[in-house]
Amino acid sequence: MSKLTVVEGSYAVAHAAKVCRPDVIPAYPITPQTHIVEELSKFAANGEIGACEYITVESEFSAISALIGACAAGARTYSATTSQGLALMHEVLFNASGMRLPLVMTVANRAMSAPLSIWNDHQDSIAQRDTGWIQLYAEDPQEAADMTPQVYKICEDNKIMLPAMACFDGFILTHVYEPVVLLEQDLTDEFLPPFAPEHILDPSNPKTFGAFADPGVYSEFRYMQELGMSAALKKIETVADEFNEIYGRYYGGLIDGYYLDDAEIVLVAMGSVIGTIKDVLDELRAEGKKVGLLKIRSFRPFPTDAIRNAVKNAAIIVPLDKSISIGKYEGALCTEIKASLYNTKIDIPVLGYMFGHGGRDIPPERIKKIVSEAEKAIVNGITIESSYVDLREELL
């Protein structure tokens, strides 16, 4: 039995990053990511991360740029960011994936300004969905910690070679103290082989990184990134299994389910709200309501086939989003789930709700209200495809 230690979520993740033996950590502080990079700086200052170079860069733009240089030179790299910092990196995110550099970043999910908000939602990483990064979302500090070596193993696979974000909710998970198993160094060494990229910047074998592509060759580079993402679909599953074999913990691969097999109402969500939903479902199941949960672990690559298979017997699908595409009035899960079901024989109504934006609390009653609305929609049909469920009308 592994030893449980009560630590802050950020510490659990920083510790997990440490045991992955990163060579270079460029870090720029931003709330609520700060505790992660502070803890790592302590590890580095105490010589606990080997010869790791910890660089206190002057911006997130340089953090991710230094990651690119370091990774191209053959280093395993780590950084963490959130929200405005991630948005500042936007241009570089495309560049990293296009150069097939398997960078790993923790994203402590936070809302986007304006209005300024330091609290949690998923708008920051969702806004980066087309940058070519793998995106996994964790539901609790233990999963966030465990996800760290998992994403290294996924993205460093030579058939994948794409960067990855391990996302977990800012404050709700970064700042919560919970009992977790701190990842053991020996198990991590067994699970995660050293980074051994085929192509590096090395004067004894000069190579050109980041060449210029004319219209005759550009699309093929983009398509090959897609092939890498496709390879990640399988790898995410096998890595989750391998992790389970070595550490004895499992959170699902691409997706996970809770009371999913016979569910008529399938709630779909990512991140920390999963815990709240599970508690609510325990209650509702006790009342005999056939409600289940589809947890999305992998948002990129998007597990279309796994989702189709998981929801095909439902009466209604209810994506719950901590993001919004303004101008479409729905969140990313809603859009993607609907897109996944089109052109199939699955004809199940999709009823989307948005909540928890800018850190607004999601109490169990809100989940129950959503379920009761879904019950009505099964009978009466859907009138509004997507809406906020926690708007304060008096402020509008």
Partner 1 sequence: MNKTTELFAPGHRGCAGCCDALAAKFMLKAVGENCIVVTPTGCLEVFSTPFPESAWNVPWIHSLFENAAAVASGVEAALKALGRKNDTKIMAIGGDGATIDIGIRGLSGAFERGHDFTYVCVDNEAYMNTGVQRSGGTPFAATTTTTPAGKASFGNLRPKKNMPQIMLAHGSPYVATTSVAYPKDMMRKVKKATEVTGPTYVHVHAPCTTGWGFDGSKTIELGRLAVETALWPMMDIENGDITGVHKIRNKRPVEEYLKAQKRFKHLFSIPGGADIIKKIQELADWNADQYDL
The smaller minimum CB distance to partner 1, of residues 89 and 341, is found at 89
Contact with partner 1 (CB under 8 A): which of 9, 26, 271, 331? 26
Q: Does 212 bind partner 1 (CB under 8 A)?
A: yes
Tokens standing for residue 338:
């609907």
Q: Does 37 bind partner 1 (CB under 8 A)?
A: no
The smaller minimum CB distance to partner 1, of residues 215 and 327, is found at 215
Query: Minimal distance in Å, beta carbon 120 to partner 1?
Result: 28
Q: Does 209 bind partner 1 (CB under 8 A)?
A: yes
Query: Minimal distance in Å, beta carbon 189 to partner 1?
Result: 18
d(CA 164, CA 155): 6
Q: Does 87 bind partner 1 (CB under 8 A)?
A: no
The smaller minimum CB distance to partner 1, of residues 222 and 328, is found at 222
Tokens standing for residue 152:
């290294």
Q: Does 198 bind partner 1 (CB under 8 A)?
A: no
d(CA 317, CA 352): 8
The smaller minimum CB distance to partner 1, of residues 96 and 138, is found at 96
d(CA 115, CA 111): 9
The smaller minimum CB distance to partner 1, of residues 205 and 383, is found at 205
Per-residue exposure over 293-311, b if at least 16 CB sit within 10 Å of its own CB, e if not:
bbbbbbbbbbbbebbeebb
| Degrees to nearest 5, angle at CA 366 with 83 and 106 | 25
Query: Minimal distance in Å, beta carbon 367 to partner 1?
Result: 43
The smaller minimum CB distance to partner 1, of residues 59 and 230, is found at 59
DSSP β-ladder status, 5-8 and 79-81: unpaired
Residues 90-149 that bind partner 1 (CB under 8 A): 91-92, 95, 99
DSSP β-ladder status, 265-269 and 291-296: parallel
Residue 213's SS3 state is coil
Amino acid making up residue 362: I
**Which range of residues in 170-178, 210-218, 307-315, 336-344 is near partner 1 by CB under 8 A?**
210-218
Q: Does 193 bind partner 1 (CB under 8 A)?
A: no
Tokens standing for residue 42:
């302590």
Question: H or E element: which one contains 55?
Answer: strand 53-56
Q: Does 201 bind partner 1 (CB under 8 A)?
A: yes
Q: Does 29 bind partner 1 (CB under 8 A)?
A: no
The smaller minimum CB distance to partner 1, of residues 190 and 202, is found at 202
d(CA 183, CA 150): 12
How far from the centroid of its chain's Cα atoms is residue 202's Cα? 33
Which positions from 47 to 86 touch partner 1 by CB under 8 A, shown as an x/- string? ---xxxx-xxxxx-xxx-xxxxxxxxxxx-x---------
Q: Does 396 bind partner 1 (CB under 8 A)?
A: no
The smaller minimum CB distance to partner 1, of residues 5 and 56, is found at 56
The smaller minimum CB distance to partner 1, of residues 75 and 277, is found at 75
Q: Does 46 bind partner 1 (CB under 8 A)?
A: no
Please tell me the count of residues contacting partner 1 according to CB under 8 A. Answer: 45
Tokens standing for residue 170:
């800012």
Query: Minimal distance in Å, beta carbon 235 to partner 1?
Result: 25
Beta carbons of 143 and 178 less than 8 angstroms apart: no
Which among 236, 226, 71, 78 is positioned nearest to 157, based on CA atoms? 236
Beta carbons of 162 and 231 less than 8 angstroms apart: no
d(CA 25, CA 30): 15
Contact with partner 1 (CB under 8 A): which of 130, 190, 202, 283? 202
> What one-character DSSP code corresponds to residue 198?
S
Residues of the shown chain interacting with partner 1 in the complex, contacts defined by CB under 8 A: 23-24, 26, 50-53, 55-59, 61-63, 65-75, 77, 91-92, 95, 99, 201-203, 205-214, 217
